[in-house]
Amino acid sequence: MKVIVTGGTGYIGSHTIVDLMEHGFEVVCIDNLSRSRKYALKGIEKITGKAPLFYPVDLCDKEATFEVISEHRDAVGIIHFAALKSVPESVVKPLEYYSNNIDSLLHILEAVNTYGIPHVVFSSSCSVYGNAEQLPVTESTPIKPAESPYAHTKQIGEDIIRNAAPAGQARYILLRYFNPIGAHPSSWIGEIPMDKPNNLVPFITQTATGKLPKLTVYGNDYPTRDSSCIRDYIHVCDIAHAHTLALQYLMAGKSETAVDIFNLGSGNGVSVLEAIHAFEKVSGQKLPYTLGERRAGDVVAVYADNTKAATLLDWHCQYTLEDAMLSAWNWELKMQELQGEF
């Protein structure tokens, strides 16, 4: 069983490749390495004993994209991760985000129809909900205006798939995941910030090692229990396994519609300050942090109702918030050992 994974050297992509390989899939990885490092392939091999077939291709290059997928038209599916994903960067560089995220998706969808790839799992995001009026959000929660260009590209991507699916034969699953954190328990792969971190947990771990002088909590006037943002933090390995289950669900013919949607979250809303304290507890490190202004593009609070994924995909979180924080800390320490390999 062959599956094509785009953005496969990225954070969630690399963990998903490990999960796929551990469940019997042969993986073809496509990534232009613009926001990831080739080291991920070595880490995958350390864990599974085998590296995926790798193509350093930019999906915005339609000809190169078609060439790769035509070579692997026997694939049972494509899992499409490849996209720019930083909320604050998208506010500063909106056109780059629209161009990259939409063009790459269009090329994948065209290739799916051209070469008859039967199943597609699309990497979406809880950011599509915007500032939801009711929490937790379900898959049928009304979509509010996007708070960032990044979130808007995910809304547009979902709309494109819904509109394109009836014109083709492929079946699609859109996975709206919340806030992935942590690293593989082996500490061979994890999140590798390319420059200054954009996500909370790398900020935390880099502050704990002294690489960053202090952590800034963006916003201390939100209408929440401790005035900081509330998010649904979920271990990256739980997110990864959901992609394997989603592909298996499609392959088994269980999807009753051309496009199906699943929330991937723990179901627990955790504030930024609570996440910091959870890290301090498991690591034994005291973090210096300051309270700053709100960051453009951030919603107040969002967390998931994951009943649908639990019921239909038989997907359940295996890791706690503390597990995720400890694995992230172990990965940060491992990265110090691996610096020469990046």
Question: Can you read off the two tokens belonging to residue 141?
Answer: 């929660």
Give the amino acid at 95: L
- Is 319 a residue of the active site? no
Q: Please give the distance of CA 185 from its chain centroid, rounded to a whole number.
A: 18
Distance between CA atoms of residues 228 and 295, nearest Å: 11
Question: Can you read off the two tokens belonging to residue 313?
Answer: 């995909």
List 11, 129, 150, 177, catalytic entry: 150
- Closest-CA residue to 242 (of 1, 23, 10): 23
HEC profile of the chain: CEEEEECCCCHHHHHHHHHHHHCCCEEEEECCCCCCCCHHHHHHHHHHCCCCEEECCCCCCHHHHHHHHHHCCCCCEEEECCCCCCHHHHHHCHHHHHHHHHHHHHHHHHHHHHHCCCEEEEEEEHHHHCCCCCCCECCCCCCCCCCCHHHHHHHHHHHHHHHHHHHCCCEEEEEEECEEECCCCCCCCCCCCCCCCCCHHHHHHHHHHCCCCCEEEECCCCCCCCCCCEECEEEHHHHHHHHHHHHHHHHCCCCCCCEEEEEECCCCCEEHHHHHHHHHHHHCCCCCEEEECCCCCCCCECCECCHHHHHHHCCCCCCCHHHHHHHHHHHHHHHHHHHHHC
Locus of tokens 């909370």: 200
* Angle at CA of residue 106, ends 100 and 109, nearest 5°: 135
Question: Judging by DSSP bridges, how do beta strands 215-218 and 259-264 pair with one another?
Answer: unpaired
Kindly list the catalytic residues. Answer: 150
